[in-house]
Amino acid sequence: MADTFRLQVATPEKSVVDEDVTMAELPGEAGYMGILAGHAPLLSALKEGTLKYASSGGEHVLKIDSGFVEVFDNHVRVLADHAEPVT
């Protein structure tokens, strides 16, 4: 699947997400940012907000506290102080 990338979301306590996704939307310090497959390398701080992503299982939403995101080589790693699914 050329239109996917790996998304990993982790907190100090656990791994929350580790799957292939088609898009992610993250709450950056300067506003929300969208990530698609093939995105340029990026390192950014995150603020409290919602992280949305789409996978073969549908669309998902997590509430996250502050943290960091690294985008490199079709891999997105989010390290957040806290993350939990929004139901």
Task: Give per-residue pLDDT as tens, 3-61.
Answer: 999 999 999 999 999 999 999 999 999 999 999 999 999 999 999 999 999 999 899 99
| pLDDT value at 1 more than 70 | no
Tokens standing for residue 62:
């997590």
Residue 57 makes CB contacts below 8 A (sequence gap 6+) with none
Total-model pTM: 0.93
Range of the domain at 33: 5-85
Count of structural domains within the chain: 1
Count the neighbouring beta carbons within 10 Å of the beta carbon of residue 57: 8
